[in-house]
Structure 1
Amino acid sequence: MDQIESTLQKSRNELQKSRKDASRHEYIQEQALGRIERVTRQLGATTSGALWLERRAPVDSASPARPSSVLFVTSNGGGMGHIARCAAVMRHGSGRILTLSTAADLVASSGLDVRYFPSQSHSSRGAERWHRQFMRRLLEEVSELEPSTIVFDGTWVYPALTDVAELADIPLVWLRRGLWRQGVDLTQVESWSEHVTSVVTPRDVAEDELSAPTSFRDAAWCDPISLASDGRFERGEALERLGLDPGREHALVQVSGGNGSGEAMGRALDAVRDSARDVTPVVVRSPLMTAAVPAGAKAIDARFPLVDFSAAWSFTITGAGYNSVHENLHTSTPGIYLPSATTLTDDQVARARAMHDGGWGVLADGAAGLPDAVRELVDAERRAEITQAIRRRATPNGARQASDYIEAIDRDTQENSWV
């Protein structure tokens, strides 16, 4: 009797779970349909959107595949990580970047198609109004570009992106950097399939698909992505284009997540001046730099991508952001890493520690540790050791892999609706 009762109870539990799952599925469908109806009304409220709705028709399976074009959308992070990663991938395909980053003009100066939309923090709009206007802008971009795929790079997928992708019946890919800090909200990470079609995660020197937390493993992984390419300038040409003295060595100094202000910048510049009389510290004027150029540093105008000039640097002093670290790995450039403590999700301490432990860079023990780190890297033999260690590691660039994966998603979904 106990066994029969146990079996009956198990059946009841399974039935109850099945009903709950069905109810949840119906609820999600109702929510999705409600969002689509709301987005359709939003779309009809715009001139370009109304025209798009009028001419939009079901895809004929017998018609030739449409040209592949990608709309990249980025949030506005503490540095240039999101927009630079999208630019690196877009180099291997075609498309446009719609970004909330104030570095939009700088990236556009490289010849890429970049459009700017102010983030809420850079506008006077309240949250609800900003989201409505952002949705309208997305609808206008989709109407004009008619992309085959939308790719978002950021740490939180805006609901407007999900809504517009569902309405336009095109895949939405989350290009999501890994190595998140512990304690960060993982709601969307764990429920990604309710927000996007697919997730692409570039590997990190400190994390890959085998070492990442379980919540992050359910993704398509590629090699680390950066803007480094075979078209980089040789040292002489890089120095000439930057207006730097070829008779001296130069150290690139970019700390505080691209801000370039505060105690860390001053200590870094002092350390270079005090420890290496033949090395000139170089600071880049950029849209993200809010302070005046410190005395004693050589200031250059911002270039994009700056990694094309990597041969100009004997070493770099930067934060341990994704771009800074992996650009150095892809160009075999020795670096001193001062992890930022202000990033919301990025675990820069873990990344800097991995570089230090692997022998591919030097970890500064806080701003006070910069003088010791600089004294280590002004030694040419020590720099040569790090350069050789990086070359032995041979880190591939995953930008083309990511582009190919996005294109494959487009091919697989062109004839099917995504719901």
Structure 2
Amino acid sequence: MLYFEVGTISNDSIDNLAVLLNQSHAAGLPVALSEQSFSAEDLASGSAYELAPFIRKDAPGPSDVMVVLEADLLDDAAMRRLRKAGLNGPGKTIAYGRFASEQARINAVARITYALGYEPSTPEIQTVQGLPEVSVPIFASARRRSSRSRPRVALVNPPAESEEQCAAFLPMSRERDYEMLVLTSGKEKRIWQDVLGLETPVWHYNEIAPHVLAAQIDIAVLFGPPNGWARFQALIANLVCANCILIDASEKNAWAGFGNNILPGTGRADFLATWLRKEIVPGRNEIETSDRFEAAKARFRLPPELKALIPAPASASMAKTDKGRTGDIVFMPTNGVGLGHAKRCMVVAKDLAQPDRAKFAAFPSCIGMLSRAGFDCSPLVARRLGTPDDNNDLVNYLRLSPFCVGASGFVFDGGFVFPSVMNAVLTNKLPAIWIRRGLWQDSQNNRVMLDRQKIFERIIVPHEAFEELNAPVAQSGRIREVGPIVQKINLSQAEKETIRAELAERLGRPLEKLVVTMLGGGVAADRRAQISAVAAHLSTRKDVTNLVVVYPTSVVDPGWFNHPNTVVVRTFHASVLMQAADIFISAVGYNSFHEVLYGAVPTIFIPQMAPYMDDQRARGNAAVQRGLAELVEPWEPLKLTNSIDEFLAGRAETVRETLAQFELPETGSAAAARIIEEICK
């Protein structure tokens, strides 16, 4: 095992560490970071997702090797860490540094020798022809690009002094012969997004490890000169060794000294677009298979001192194969409690040709429901209340990424694409699909969410039941619209009577009238007051039983147990109880709303309108306008009780008849399953 240390802890040294660690891992080296050397604060930069998978509790032993970066900057804190590591090992140490003189190198060696008790090796960091010096070795990983019929053209460091300058490249983002993406700094990323829109992928260097980022690119147009940033040089190394076409579009041909594997080009957007379309893309195969890359590849080989540490491959007789088995498809529902998202995923997974291909990474609130449906599950860690939205996301990445190893695809259903999702998808090279429902509120800021749609090969947008609720979807080759994804449960009258009879026997009371109240788990909005109002109002109606239905993981108000005629039921089978009810009182989430419509259940809706949610009020009003439901605002307790009385007096049956006769669009779960199977082969 190779354990890594740095001569001094700073943002730059941690970034260099992340680059070398990930490049080494991708090249086949067994790498690690000791928990005794790095604290969470040390790694809490943009590199945290790149470093966290390699942290181990143990320290290096006699059979391990230590790699010290920036040994020329060795400070006292690093000396203490090395001294502590030297108590049990490691057996060998490699120290990298850019020493100002031979005496500086001797001084660093002496200090490390004092700390460890033996002398480290200090191999020279080879400077790559045409690139400035950096403080870590630059080499390519073994990762290869996937074959793509429509190549991805990356504009690398294009000029962005003004929006007008960026707008010159807008036509290139609409080309049919290739896909355009932009690779820029974090500072300029916003400018490019404003000009190109969020449909065009815009990356900054720290979003993902260099070898993973390189896998997104087939043709790179280099606008800026070579620079001395290790992350940038590692990207170039991986592009060269994957036979990516590099084009020098810099001023004064700044890449000319790099070698003949870079084609001289132009930075003018109009000329560049025509040249790419007519010359480069049609001749891509000939360029990629020429020998012009070989000399440049030799510059990015693994240094001999590291290559010697790659473990011998396992014996072919010991290697396990599983030929003919179709890979699993990982489904990840989120956000919040995640039950609605999990239910939607579950409906789609059941419509796969092989439902047993589906496995779930889900929050604890959903595990019971998914397990009962027969799906294998891996629990994620829910965020704690009162903490930032990304709380525990790094922990979830450490669970999610190994769970995805060997999968054939990834399906995400949620409103916010967390870094854990992005990193798990890209580092495992998974084709990914996003089930993204619409009906966002006008006040929502979806910039971050829509920026991360670039990691998905397909985006499935389930329709709403009513056309006016379906917002226009940006035209894109990735987006597929399907009908409403809904669990359809249509019980016969005999089945409903059987359920009511079993409930009556279990509760020890007749069910002349059954009201089912289900207003959510309390994450988006606190609906205890409305539930209490319903229970209090029905407490004098001996002919009515009110079931307050909550999921097993939901919080229950003790006061609900004090109302006569009200019974609290914890269950995952709310859809069946809903069907048996005379009245259903519900929030207006996507799932419950469509189950009401397709199941013809008379319903009083109470919308939840948290800022990050979909527009439940618009959804409910659309049903009211068609005579298919009633909508009561959370602050209208008198209207709520009056509506309950009206429904019990006969209006419920009128609504049920109207629902039964209403023509609804074809559901979309089967279509969504076919799209997923097309991508996750």
Shift of the alpha carbon at 1:68? 5.2
Residue 35 of structure 1 is matched in structure 2 by: 209
Residue 288 of structure 1 is matched in structure 2 by: 554
Please identify which structure carries the higher helix content: 1
Give matches, 1:332-371, under 5 Å.
332-342=600-610, 344-366=612-634, 367-368=636-637, 369-371=639-641
Among 380, 383, 404, which residue is 1:117 paired with? 380
* Distance in 2 between residues matched to 1:374 and 1:123, nearest whole Å: 36
Amino acid at match of 1:152: F
Residue 397 of structure 2 is matched in structure 1 by: 135
Relative to structure 1, the CA distance from residue 68 to residue 229 in structure 2 (aligned partners, 3 Å threshold; closer, same or farther) is farther
Residue 136 of structure 2 is matched in structure 1 by: none
Q: What's the secondary structure of 1:97's corresponding residue?
A: strand
2:381 is aligned with 1:99: no
- What are the Cα deviations for residues 63-88 of structure 1, in whole angstroms up to 9, with x where unaligned? 98752532111223256211111111
* Distance in 2 between residues matched to 1:156 and 1:202, nearest whole Å: 16
Assess if the C-alpha contact under 8 Å between 2:514 and 2:547 holds in 1: yes
Residue 582 of structure 2 is matched in structure 1 by: 314
Assess if the C-alpha contact under 8 Å between 1:202 and 1:224 holds in 2: yes
| TM-score in terms of structure 2 length | 0.49
Q: What's the secondary structure of 1:227's corresponding residue?
A: coil
* Distance in 1 between residues matched to 2:400 and 2:210, nearest whole Å: 14
* Distance in 2 between residues matched to 1:299 and 1:140, nearest whole Å: 43
Aligned positions, number: 374
Relative to structure 1, the CA distance from residue 109 to residue 193 in structure 2 (aligned partners, 3 Å threshold; closer, same or farther) is closer
Amino acid at match of 1:235: K
Shift of the alpha carbon at 1:237? 2.7
In the alignment, structure 1 segments of 5+ residues that lack a partner are 1-11, 41-53, 56-62, 412-419
| TM-score in terms of structure 1 length | 0.77
* Distance in 2 between residues matched to 1:190 and 1:29, nearest whole Å: 13
Residue 408 of structure 1 is matched in structure 2 by: 678
Assess if the C-alpha contact under 8 Å between 2:444 and 2:611 holds in 1: no
Relative to structure 1, the CA distance from residue 133 to residue 99 in structure 2 (aligned partners, 3 Å threshold; closer, same or farther) is same
* Distance in 2 between residues matched to 1:397 and 1:408, nearest whole Å: 19
| Range that drifts further, 184-193 or 340-349 | 184-193
Assess if the C-alpha contact under 8 Å between 2:426 and 2:455 holds in 1: no
Residue 386 of structure 1 is matched in structure 2 by: 655
Identity of aligned residues (%): 20
Relative to structure 1, the CA distance from residue 78 to residue 346 in structure 2 (aligned partners, 3 Å threshold; closer, same or farther) is farther
* Distance in 1 between residues matched to 2:212 and 2:392, nearest whole Å: 16
Q: Higher Cα Rg: structure 1 or 2?
A: 2
Relative to structure 1, the CA distance from residue 326 to residue 66 in structure 2 (aligned partners, 3 Å threshold; closer, same or farther) is same
Shift of the alpha carbon at 1:263? 1.2
Amino acid at match of 1:31: Y
Assess if the C-alpha contact under 8 Å between 1:157 and 1:195 holds in 2: no
Shift of the alpha carbon at 1:152? 0.8
- What are the Cα deviations for residues 121-144 of structure 1, in whole angstroms up to 9, with x where unaligned? 2699x877833322111122112x
Assess if the C-alpha contact under 8 Å between 1:283 and 1:297 holds in 2: no
Among 316, 335, 338, which residue is 1:76 paired with? 335
The higher-RCO structure (CA 8 Å, 6+ apart) is: 1
Among 82, 93, 108, which residue is 2:371 paired with? 108
In the alignment, structure 2 segments of 5+ residues that lack a partner are 1-163, 174-178, 185-201, 216-312, 315-321
Among 254, 258, 263, which residue is 2:518 paired with? 254
Q: What's the secondary structure of 2:331's corresponding residue?
A: strand
Assess if the C-alpha contact under 8 Å between 1:78 and 1:343 holds in 2: no
* Distance in 2 between residues matched to 1:231 and 1:247, nearest whole Å: 18
Shift of the alpha carbon at 1:24? 5.6
Structure 1 stretches of 4+ moved >6 Å: 12-15, 18-23, 126-129
Q: What's the secondary structure of 2:610's corresponding residue?
A: coil
Q: CA RMSD in A?
A: 3.7
* Distance in 1 between residues matched to 2:171 and 2:655, nearest whole Å: 59
Assess if the C-alpha contact under 8 Å between 2:490 and 2:599 holds in 1: no
- What are the Cα deviations for residues 376-416 of structure 1, in whole angstroms up to 9, with x where unaligned? 21123x222211222222433322222122112224xxxxx
- What are the Cα deviations for residues 206-256 of structure 1, in whole angstroms up to 9, with x where unaligned? 5568x4045599731222122234578811332245435554221101125
Assess if the C-alpha contact under 8 Å between 1:285 and 1:300 holds in 2: yes
Residue 415 of structure 1 is matched in structure 2 by: none
Residue 495 of structure 2 is matched in structure 1 by: 234
* Distance in 2 between residues matched to 1:263 and 1:216, nearest whole Å: 43
* Distance in 2 between residues matched to 1:340 and 1:150, nearest whole Å: 30
* Distance in 1 between residues matched to 2:467 and 2:408, nearest whole Å: 31
* Distance in 1 between residues matched to 2:484 and 2:172, nearest whole Å: 40
